[in-house]
């Protein structure tokens, strides 16, 4: 919309006079002369109130004389009922306006034409509130919104909008799971697969979330808490880091004949569920990315049994790589437990670590077994390396140009769980934790706009 310069100057002059009067009145009180920062904040608050009032008045004035009947989307007819008050949250705050409301069709759905004309849907500012909710704690979000946008909203409003975004994500994932289990859909995907990634990575891990069950109606609330695993999945691609962009750590990798790689196009998914249920999400999201059709599918993870069980079940053709740093840490733990003398510790650790780097896992196992009788850590490590032997052929993986560190999924757990759900004092109901995490995962994945569209499609509250 464009406004004439003369009109804006007239309004600005009137507003300036109003602010000037307020400044003069304050200067005569004990508060004294306001600072420029106080003046600016007062002007912002005044403009917000004007916008809030003006928007409501403008929308109400745009309501024309109602027709007796209008067409319904189902093909039936809707009859005029009365004028009803609608309330929406705008960038100016909560705005109320009056418009004609129609109902009475056999489909049982009502309609307000004015809402459709001006795109009055709850998703406009709801997305902004939810965005604050995925970035900050729910008690901090209102302060952030008030400070930057002068939006006065309650903590529960931010919580509700954020969790609703997560609920929409959960609903979409449920539909993906259903589609991925239909033979007809899978056959159609085989015929017309769309884009198939030449190389795709997948990683899974879990992080702890503190939860508190909600008592049922009529039950006494007991002081009880639990820690639940928020399982996290990341699909991603990798690219080589140009020499000019390489960090010191990446340059050292190159010196050790390891390509300097970094993840890109990360897509995150998460849930608090048993491994079997999470596997359905793994398969469904993989189908959407054609992971099973990729000629080069690589999975990276730590030694958790549930991870490799799911990979083996859904993607048996994938290359399985156990994170190098987890494997190396096991050797360091053995050396520390078996040798108190630092020189002897280093003398054992250096060659066995080199063997691991060279993919000579059998020699690593033998080195651990030689210490097993007197060192429990060595006995445990022997089993660990034996169970993951084929996932530790690091010489082959490096030659193939594969990434061998699972830092991408560890970063995902940190960003989704640690930085948002594990804030000091945070304690969640399971459903709230899941929906908040799913909303944040969507934001980090760059798929937020799809949730905003789904949110905008919901009916306007009246």
Give the model confidence (pLDDT) of 226-239 as tens digits.
899 999 999 999 99
Residue-by-residue DSSP string for 409-437: HHHHHIIIIITTTSSTT--B-HHHHHHHH
CA trace torsion 116, 121, 125, 131 (10° rounding): -130
Residue 411 has pLDDT above 80, yes or no: yes
Per the structure, the count of domains in the chain is 2
Other residues' Cβ atoms within 10 Å of the Cβ of residue 345: 17
Question: What are the residues facing 97 on neighbouring strands?
Answer: 86
Is the model's pLDDT at 116 over the cut of 60?
yes
Domain presence at residue 420? no
* pLDDT on residue 255: 61
Going 381 to 383 to 384 to 390, the CA torsion angle's sign is positive
Strand partners, 320: 299
Mean pLDDT, residues 184-212: 93
Interval 230-268: pLDDT, tens: 999 999 999 998 888 887 777 766 666 677 899 999 999
Task: Provide the 3-class DSSP secondary structure of residue 246.
Answer: coil
> What's the pLDDT band for 119 if we cut at 50, 70, 90?
confident
Task: Provide the domain limits for residue 336.
Answer: 326-396
71 in any annotated domain: yes
The packing angle between helices 155-180 and 448-456, to 10°, is: 100
Residue 220 lies in a domain: no
In angstroms, how far is CA 59 from the centroid of its own chain? 35
Alpha helices in 192-323 (DSSP H): 248-255, 275-288, 305-314
Q: For the chain, report the end-to-end CA distance as a whole number of angstroms.
A: 28
| DSSP character at residue 338 | H
Q: What angle do CA 154, 157, 160 make, to 5 degrees?
A: 150
- Candidate from 10-24, 37-51, 268-282, 448-462 with smallest mean pLDDT: 448-462
pLDDT of residue 462 exceeding 50, the answer is no
> Has residue 51 been placed in a domain?
yes
In this prediction, residues 170-193 reach a mean pLDDT of 93
Examine the pLDDT at 419 and tell me if it is beyond 70.
yes
Q: With the C-alpha atoms ordered 21, 26, 27, 28, is the resulting torsion angle positive or negative?
A: positive
Per-residue pLDDT tens over the stretch 353-365:
999 999 999 999 9
According to the model, what pLDDT value does residue 22 have?
A: 86
Of 371, 396, 421, which residue sits at a domain end?
396
Lowest mean pLDDT: which of 165-179, 236-250, 341-355? 236-250
Identify the band that residue 38 occupies on the pLDDT scale cut at 50, 70 and 90: confident
Looking at residues 174-190, what average pLDDT do you find?
Answer: 93
Burial of 138 (0-12, 13-18, 19+ CB in 10 A): buried
pLDDT of residue 117: 85
Please tell me the predicted confidence (pLDDT) of residue 242: 87
**461 falls in which pLDDT band (50, 70, 90)?**
very low
Report d(CA 300, CA 293) in Å as an integer: 18
Q: Is the pLDDT of residue 175 over 70?
A: yes
Kindly state whether residue 315 falls inside one of the protein's structural domains: no
Paired with 238 in beta bridges are 263
pLDDT at 164: 93
Residues 286, 200 contacting (CB under 8 angstroms)? no
Q: Given a cut of 90, is residue 150 above it in pLDDT?
A: no
Last residue of a domain, one of 120, 140, 172: 120
The answer as to whether 214 is a domain residue is: no
- Output 10 or 93, whichever has higher pLDDT: 10
Question: Residue 442 has which token pair?
Answer: 């969507």
Residue 327 near residue 375, CB atoms below 8 Å? no
Averaged pLDDT score across all residues of the chain: 90
What mean pLDDT do residues 91-120 have?
A: 87
- What are all long-range contacts of 249-256, with beta carbons under 8 Å and residues at least 24 apart? 256/357
Q: 214 pLDDT band (50/70/90 cuts)?
A: low
Q: Which of 409, 108, 2 is nearest to 230 (CA)?
A: 409
Give the integer Cα–Cα distance in Å for 347 and 335. 10
Q: Are 289 and 200 in contact (CB under 8 A)?
A: yes
pLDDT recorded at residue 2: 80
Given a cut of 60, whether residue 124 has pLDDT beyond it is no
End-of-domain residue from the set 94, 120, 146: 120
Q: Is residue 353 part of a domain?
A: yes
Residue 334 lies in a domain: yes
């Amino acid at each position: 919309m464009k406004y004439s310069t003369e009109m804006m100057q007239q309004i600005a002059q009137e507003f300036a006079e109003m602010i000037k009067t307020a400044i003069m009145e304050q200067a005569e009180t004990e508060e004294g002369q306001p600072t420029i920062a106080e003046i600016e904040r007062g002007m912002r608050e005044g403009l917000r109130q004007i916008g809030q009032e003006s928007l409501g008045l403008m929308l109400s004035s745009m309501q024309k004389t109602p027709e007796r009947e209008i067409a319904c989307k189902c093909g039936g007819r809707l009859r005029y009922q009365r004028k009803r008050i609608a309330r929406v949250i705008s960038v100016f705050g909560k705005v109320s306006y009056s418009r004609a409301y129609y109902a009475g069709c056999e489909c049982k759905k009502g309609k307000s034409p004015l809402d459709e004309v001006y795109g009055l849907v709850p998703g406009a500012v709801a997305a902004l509130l939810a965005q604050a909710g995925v970035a900050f704690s729910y008690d901090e979000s209102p302060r952030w919104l008030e400070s930057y946008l002068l939006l006065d909203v309650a903590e529960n409003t931010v919580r509700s909008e954020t969790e609703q975004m997560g609920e929409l994500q959960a609903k979409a994932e449920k539909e993906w799971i259903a589609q991925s289990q239909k033979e007809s859909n899978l056959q159609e995907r085989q015929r017309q697969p769309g884009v198939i990634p030449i190389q795709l990575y997948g990683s899974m891990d879990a992080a702890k979330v503190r939860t508190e069950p909600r008592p049922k109606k009529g039950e006494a609330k007991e002081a009880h808490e639990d820690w639940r695993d928020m399982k996290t999945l990341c699909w991603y691609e990798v690219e080589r880091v140009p020499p000019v962009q390489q960090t010191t750590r990446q340059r050292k990798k190159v010196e050790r004949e390891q390509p300097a790689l970094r993840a890109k196009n990360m897509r995150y998914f998460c849930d608090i569920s048993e491994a079997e249920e999470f596997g359905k999400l793994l398969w469904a999201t993989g189908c959407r990315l054609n992971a099973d059709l990729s000629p080069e599918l690589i999975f990276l993870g730590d030694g958790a049994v549930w991870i490799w069980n799911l990979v083996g079940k859904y993607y048996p053709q994938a290359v399985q790589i156990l994170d190098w740093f987890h494997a190396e840490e096991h050797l360091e733990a053995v050396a520390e437990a078996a040798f108190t003398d630092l020189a002897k510790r280093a003398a054992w650790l250096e060659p066995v670590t080199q063997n691991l780097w060279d993919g000579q896992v059998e020699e690593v196992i033998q080195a651990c077994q030689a210490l097993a009788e007197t060192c429990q850590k060595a006995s445990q490590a022997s089993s660990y390396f034996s169970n993951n032997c084929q996932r530790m052929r690091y010489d082959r993986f490096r030659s193939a140009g594969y990434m061998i560190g699972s830092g991408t999924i560890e970063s995902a757990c940190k960003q989704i769980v640690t930085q948002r759900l594990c804030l000091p004092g945070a304690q969640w109901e399971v459903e709230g934790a899941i929906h908040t995490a799913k909303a944040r995962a969507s934001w980090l994945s760059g798929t937020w706009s799809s949730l905003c569209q789904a949110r905008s499609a919901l009916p306007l509250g009246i």
